[in-house]
Amino acid sequence: MENVALIESFSEFKDDKLIDRVTLMAILEDVLRNALKKKYGDDDNFDIIINPDKGDLEIWRNRIVVADGEVEEPNQEIELSEAQKIEPDFEVGEDVAEEVKLIDLGRRSILALRQNLISKIHEHDNTNIYKHFKELEGEIYTAEVHHIRHRAIILLDDDGNEIILPKDRQIPSDFFRKGENVRGIIESVELKGSKPAIIMSRTSPVFLEKLFEQEIPEVFDGLITVKKVVRIPGEKAKVAVDSYDDRIDPVGACVGMKGSRIHGIVRELGNENIDVINYTNNIQLFVTRALSPARVTSLKLDEENMRAEVLLKPEEVSKAIGRGGHNIRLAGQLTGYEIDVFREGAEEDVELKEFTDEIDNWIIEEFSKAGLDTAKSILEQDVADLVKRTDLEEETILEVIRILKEEFEE
């Protein structure tokens, strides 16, 4: 393999990987010096001249001329008779520069050198990709669907970088075809071996926050601040917003006339229902707003235990709880408070946990997840609705209803 051939392959990498010339020349010199060390034991007395524009590469070995038979360091010294074969008028004590051809290193060394060059360039390239995407963590990124697998979608960006969108980071209603563009946030970047693993997410609350920044000018400009985002991806989200300018209505600005501004975000998230709420430091008011669209009659806070007891009219209870208990769950996550719902006129109601002797704890937990914590809250529901809102069998629900009815009949 000739010097020119190595330079040509070196140039191909420069074009493909867009590595700057100085860095690429440094990589090539480093690889060559490693090869020289293996061959001669040291590389201190070698000069390497690289001219990528001309496709030229020169390696010069510098040695001191000594009398015949007095060579102690073959890599540093050369016998007079050998030096005079290069130039007849050399004398003892002079420096001799002799060109070394790559072929002199041996065929095996040349193959190893090329492989080492490829490896070093890829390593440098991967390090740069890692650094680039590490800086993009938490930012929105767009890439094209390249390959669809069972557990993940493999995306490629315009530079050919591979990005992974795992199944559990996809919105349940997501359906993508090859060649389609996908938006998400860069959630994490890790080095696996020497290769960066770039993970995209569409389920992260940060994705929704960044969509607000992209789609709503006042958020982008900092006039409106997104204080907190909670989501059940593809189902429902609550976003608390605030403005330091009293002239700006943060909720109105985010939603827009007839929902015009938020419509694109809702569509991007598979028609996820988004409640935009005015943030406040007044916890009572914040919990009340978080339970929207339900209207709260009264509220009692236990700040030490981070619990809120909310009193509602019977017709408002289902709104507060929401389908599958989504509304009350998100309200709790948004405010940081455990929210207990009580109905007006339900003073004679009995908490479900009072029935632990007759009803298994895991069943009580399932009802609780759906916001059903009292006997009457269950008895007032239709059996079919209870089946939909919980993971319980109809037979189990009917047995619970029987037990609860007996309590009130007594």
For 183-219, how does the pLDDT look when each residue is reduced to its tens digit (9 = 90+)?
999 999 988 877 889 999 999 999 999 999 999 999 9
Distance CA 34, CA 114 (A): 12
Q: Does 344 have pLDDT greater than 80?
A: no
Distance CA 268, CA 238 (A): 16
The strand pair at 77-79 and 95-99 is best described as unpaired
170's tokens = 């996809």
3-131: which CATH topology? N Utilization Substance Protein A; Chain:P; domain 4 (3.30.1480)
Give strand pairing partners of 278.
241
Distance CA 330, CA 406 (A): 34
Q: Does 51 have pLDDT greater than 50?
A: yes
292's tokens = 């929207």
Q: What is the pLDDT of residues 165-178, one digit of tens each?
A: 999 999 999 999 99
Question: 204-279: what CATH class?
Answer: alpha beta
Q: What is the pLDDT of residues 350-377, one digit of tens each?
A: 788 878 888 888 998 888 888 788 888 8
Tell me which DSSP letter residue 310 carries: E
Chain CA centroid to CA 219, Å: 22
137-201: which CATH topology? OB fold (Dihydrolipoamide Acetyltransferase, E2P) (2.40.50)
The verdict on pTM exceeding 0.85 is no
- Per domain, the residue ranges of the chain are 3-131, 137-201, 204-279
Q: Give the chain's radius of gyration (CA, Å).
A: 36
Q: Does 130 have pLDDT greater than 50?
A: yes
Ramachandran angles phi, psi of 267, nearest 5°: -65, -45
| Model confidence band, residue 79 (pLDDT cutoffs 50, 70, 90) | confident
Query: Which of 88, 100, 103 minimizes the C-alpha distance to 62?
Result: 100
Give strand pairing partners of 64.
77, 95
Amino acid at 386: L
CA atoms within 13 A on the CB side of 180: 9
Q: Are 68 and 79 in contact (CB under 8 A)?
A: yes
Q: What is the pLDDT of residues 265-293, one digit of tens each?
A: 999 999 999 999 999 999 999 999 999 99
* DSSP states of 272-301: -EEEEEE--S-HHHHHHHHTTTSPEEEEEE
